Structure 1
């Protein structure tokens, strides 16, 4: 009883013959491997299949468990005849939600959220439908528990996977976990997300990690490589692997191909016995990373951190320390303070031109604003402070330019301006590799259409970590 098998499956609708028709032959390897998964699941006879989709209600701060009638179709992909319907496992759903709550992992039911507000319908998405299509060709007698991963830290997603396993054990159920997800969407020049040579490198690395079930290597994946790959399956994989925590695993990659510029991988993970748990190891590694970062932070970053910590804990704005370097006390400049939590942006506020008496005051004010006044986020809570990472960018005065040719996204930040609408993007940001990307993002921030006329400015920064 418990987790009897885990699988990674891709979800391109073109794999489904009723959708892809002749084009489906280009993914024969994935189709055959998906069919093999269906046959294996039939033989495992699970009580319940837990499926993790990247195309359901994905929220920034919580895993979302589907809580609507479990039915769907591929009508939006030209195949209305492909319809599936499942019985939910309410018992397992309740157990997982209760255990996750005790563990401190945020989980919501879709019924507690107005999905229409996010442009979503209460039906199985194609991230669920495509794997289930191939599974139900062979296995039918199981209940379904679908969910969408949240944009939570990998450690929390892995721990949530562990919750799934503990819940299955507690209820004495045989459970199969399926991670729905594609790998890089940037393998070729005609790929849907554009081409990036790192896409192929990411896929090769991840496929190797899965084949060897190398959790250490998975944890150490370069975040910049992940960002450049444009993948959609990594978080599904983290939850699935967490469901195998404390178990020895026989892993095998059944197929990999990328004929449409997107990487499709089918893999099997079969538990075979007991092994050591990685949950606490991952949390310890995270704490060590933050500690090492704090030990290396320079005086600019330290001031930003102390400023926000003082304000959140006491409600007061700290005084400027007297022992700062002279340039922080005597020079003036625009400053941006960026805050991240577990690799995700938690706040970023800055000033293009100086507004305070010196750089130190600019940092203190903007650090508080980034943590407590960024309209995209709730204000930072005291319990979050130990998890935050800061960076400080000191800006040179912006200079007007007459052509995008004078920009370099690694060296220069960009400002676009039309009337009182202004958009800014800092230089050397992960995932921003071209001038076109840089300008387009700045235009969106300013609410300026690309076909409108606008002024261009560039600036440099001194970045402090």
Structure 2
């Protein structure tokens, strides 16, 4: 499946994606029927398969973040599904409540296709990241972890960024293996308040 060229998404298209995420959360909380986006309302670009993440914060603290690195379905449906999952199915957090909505911010990130980065050591990776604040995926055997580029705001030093990413995957912070697969990506994102 082809992945949309996220750079070509306009601010208007990103705003539509943010609105889809809001509606997915609103529909779940209303106890009504949760309706998927009506596909004929969107441009061809937003109907192409794309990978995305939806991140939720309440009072600036993470409340949920789920997504995919592989494009499986139209972007509008991915955003809808990931918004609901981030709000109610991220097992790290209690499900979102109505009381949290006035302090809720939603961020939708559309990912570029990940590209493998050939590095011979962890130090080579750290040197690369000193000049390239990109999203990173570490993979070895059946373990994998991903940080969006936005994580650089909280972990600005490459060594801290990579150590925390390794811990997220279930490795020791000091762990490194010669057969670690490193992939990088960029995002096009939009962030806004729920209300």
Counterpart pick for 2:50 among 317, 333, 349? 333
**Contact 2:111/2:185, CA 8 A, preserved across alignment:** yes
Cα deviation, 1:152-210, whole Å, max 9, x if unaligned, reads xxxxxxxxxxxxxxxxxxxxxxxxxxxxxxxxxxxxxxxxxxxxxxxxxxxxxxxxxxx
Task: Name the SS for the 2:30 alignment partner.
Answer: helix
Q: How does 1:362-401 map onto structure 2 within 5 Å?
A: 362-401=78-117
CA distance in 2, matches of 1:391, 1:382: 18
Residue of structure 1 in register with 2:76 after alignment: 360
CA distance in 2, matches of 1:315, 1:448: 42
Task: Kindly indicate whether residue 193 of structure 2 is the aligned counterpart of residue 464 of structure 1.
Answer: no
CA distance in 2, matches of 1:337, 1:417: 22
Decide which moves more: 310-319 or 332-341: 310-319
Give how far 1:409 is off. 7.8
Residue of structure 1 in register with 2:175 after alignment: 451
CA distance in 1, matches of 2:132, 2:155: 8
Cα deviation, 1:65-98, whole Å, max 9, x if unaligned, reads xxxxxxxxxxxxxxxxxxxxxxxxxxxxxxxxxx
Residue of structure 2 in register with 1:412 after alignment: 134
Task: Kindly indicate whether residue 179 of structure 2 is the aligned counterpart of residue 427 of structure 1.
Answer: no
Residue of structure 2 in register with 1:436 after alignment: 159
CA distance in 2, matches of 1:421, 1:461: 23
Q: 1:455 to 1:316 in 2, by over 3 A?
A: farther
Q: 1:359 to 1:408 in 2, by over 3 A?
A: farther
CA distance in 1, matches of 2:187, 2:131: 12
**RCO comparison, higher one (Cα < 8 Å, 6+):** 2
**Contact 1:409/1:434, CA 8 A, preserved across alignment:** no
Give how far 1:349 is off. 0.7
Q: How does 1:9-158 map onto structure 2 within 5 Å?
A: none
Task: Name the SS for the 1:332 alignment partner.
Answer: coil
Task: Name the SS for the 1:371 alignment partner.
Answer: helix
**Contact 1:407/1:458, CA 8 A, preserved across alignment:** no
CA distance in 1, matches of 2:86, 2:138: 21
Residue of structure 2 in register with 1:314 after alignment: 31
Task: Name the SS for the 2:116 alignment partner.
Answer: strand
Q: 1:315 to 1:425 in 2, by over 3 A?
A: farther
**Contact 2:25/2:83, CA 8 A, preserved across alignment:** yes
Cα deviation, 1:294-315, whole Å, max 9, x if unaligned, reads xxx8211111111111112226
RMSD of aligned residue pairs (Cα, Å)? 1.9
Cα deviation, 1:337-362, whole Å, max 9, x if unaligned, reads 00111111111111111232x10000
**Contact 2:166/2:175, CA 8 A, preserved across alignment:** no
Give how far 1:428 is off. 3.1
* TM-score (normalizing by structure 2): 0.78
**Contact 1:336/1:351, CA 8 A, preserved across alignment:** yes
Q: 1:377 to 1:326 in 2, by over 3 A?
A: same
**Contact 1:410/1:428, CA 8 A, preserved across alignment:** no
Count of equivalent residues? 167
Q: 1:392 to 1:334 in 2, by over 3 A?
A: same
Task: Kindly indicate whether residue 41 of structure 2 is the aligned counterpart of residue 323 of structure 1.
Answer: yes
Residue of structure 1 in register with 2:15 after alignment: 298
Task: Name the SS for the 1:407 alignment partner.
Answer: helix
* TM-score (normalizing by structure 1): 0.34
